[in-house]
Amino acid sequence: MDRRKFLQSTAALASVSMAGSTIAANAQAMMDKDSDEYWKTIMAQYKVTDEFINLNAGHWGIMSEPVLEAFVKHTRFINAYSSYFVGHGRAAIPTARNYGLERAEVISMLADKLGVGADELVLTRGATESLQLLISGYNNIEPGDTVLFGDAAYFSMEAEMRHLKVHRGANVVELKVPDPASHDNIIALFEQGIKDHPKTKLILLTHMANRTGVIIPLKEITAMARSHGVDVIVDMAHSWGQADFDFADQGVDFVGFNLHKWIGAPLGVGLMYIKKERMLDIDTKSSKGPPGNDDINNRAQTGTMNLAAVMAVKDALIFLDKIGIEHIDRRFKALRNQWTKEFLDDDRVDILNPEDERMHAGLTSFRINAHKDPRELGKTLLRDYGINTAPIPALNGIRVAPGLYSSKADMDALAVAIKDIVNKM
């Protein structure tokens, strides 16, 4: 085939497939977004290995194909233009893309989604970085003041809280989260903690616990803490993007997120939020000049970031917005209930978060009471049943975290595997 004919035929093919995808997009738009039929169209936009069923979306997320393609495109662009893209020379070629503008657009989209100001957000490389900046930078602690956290905190944030003893002379207190947790007993836990330690200044709250998936009543605890003059720093590594809640309504001042778990952006992007009026309560970084200014950008010093990953946040937000967080939340709950319902009346297996709909989304752990080696159990699930999960030795449990690419059949396979293991014991 000569080149002209080839071009004509590929153009014809392209128009057929574009027409096909327009029809598919229209059909998708007509569907009930809570139906399995609709979710098949979402699952089809993920390419995941069929070597095993991946129920460990809690570690980090998988990008959908549109996001991955955009990320590759951005990577190619940056690889071609290199630092010209961020440097002073770009004005000379007006058609070249401008990283500063693209990053500002990403921040503005994130601000719109959260219902906050763009000047209250700064990008980081993950939730750990954001939260370590917030905890170590919080400067309202006098020697002898108390700081509290629950034992559901993520290990590196717990370490940062403990370090406040050395760094600020704080009395560091860990509270034991009740098991089973309930809406009321978690509020009571922190309220009692403040009463027992009247010099409490700061609480670290993990909105959704990474080991159990328990979602705490954030708004209520924050309001209670505020009524005692206590600040909270919130870890939203797992909640934002997985559960449907109104961020602006939570009344929180200091929050760390990542965008590579449940927002579906490439690895290596996080976000830090500081309420504008509270900016001076977090120290500036030494490399960013003296304290006293209220620019959030002076409170993070990430060095060179993965620019393509930052740019792809826009694509990830567009992808999620087409579905809608209310449908994502319902989908995750449906995937969770698909397998947990099999064990509600089975006292050989414990489900480690409450049935209360306010207190879970998709990520949920279980324990086989007679099985004392969760690492071995995780290996058995992978080796004998082809299911990848996350063992949680501290709870003698296994964490199950479906993604938007997971099917109800995946969850059924898990339930069958657990039953089989239990029956053989």
Ligand X SMILES: Cc1ncc(COP(=O)(O)O)c(C=O)c1O
Cβ closer to ligand X: 33 or 238? 238
Binding of ligand X by 154 (CB under 6 A): yes
Three-state DSSP class for residue 159: helix
Cβ closer to ligand X: 57 or 421? 57
Contact 262, 240 (CB under 8 A): yes
CA separation for the pair 263, 269 (Å, rounded): 10
x/- letters, 196..215, toward ligand X (CB under 6 A): ----------x---x-----
Footprint (CB under 6 A) of ligand X, residues 17-36: none
x/- letters, 266..305, toward ligand X (CB under 6 A): ----x-----------------------------------
Among 146, 258, 353, 364, binds ligand X (CB under 6 A): 258
The least distance separating ligand X from the CB of residue 416, rounded to whole angstroms, comes to: 28
Among 33, 103, 201, 238, binds ligand X (CB under 6 A): 238
Among 106, 121, 127, 170, binds ligand X (CB under 6 A): 127
Footprint (CB under 6 A) of ligand X, residues 35-94: none
Cβ closer to ligand X: 120 or 129? 129
5-13, 235-243, 295-303, 386-394 -> range binding ligand X (CB under 6 A): 235-243
Contact 398, 390 (CB under 8 A): yes
Binding of ligand X by 237 (CB under 6 A): yes
The least distance separating ligand X from the CB of residue 312, rounded to whole angstroms, comes to: 16
Residues linked to residue 138 through DSSP beta bridges, in sequence order: 282
- Dihedral (C-alpha) 414, 417, 422, 425: value to the nearest 10 degrees? -150
CA separation for the pair 302, 403 (Å, rounded): 29
CA separation for the pair 372, 397 (Å, rounded): 9
Q: Which residues contact 234 (CB under 8 A, 6 or more apart)?
A: 204, 205, 206, 207, 218, 222, 250, 252, 254, 255, 256
The least distance separating ligand X from the CB of residue 239, rounded to whole angstroms, comes to: 9
Which uninterrupted H or E stretch holds 283? Answer: none
The least distance separating ligand X from the CB of residue 381, rounded to whole angstroms, comes to: 20
Beta strands in 82-193 (DSSP E): 121-124, 146-150, 171-175
Question: Which phi and psi (to 5°) does residue 365 adopt?
Answer: -110, 160
Asked whether the bond before 180 is cis by omega within 30 degrees of 0, the reply is yes
79-87, 110-118, 120-128, 314-322 -> range binding ligand X (CB under 6 A): 120-128
In the numeric block, which tokens belong to residue 124? 């980081």
Contact 241, 214 (CB under 8 A): no
6-14, 102-110, 185-193, 231-239 -> range binding ligand X (CB under 6 A): 231-239
Binding of ligand X by 254 (CB under 6 A): no
141-149, 230-238, 281-289, 397-405 -> range binding ligand X (CB under 6 A): 230-238
Cβ closer to ligand X: 389 or 418? 389
Q: Which residues contact 419 (CB under 8 A, 6 or more apart)?
A: 342
Q: Which residues bind ligand X (CB under 6 A)?
A: 126-128, 154, 206, 210, 235, 237-238, 258, 270
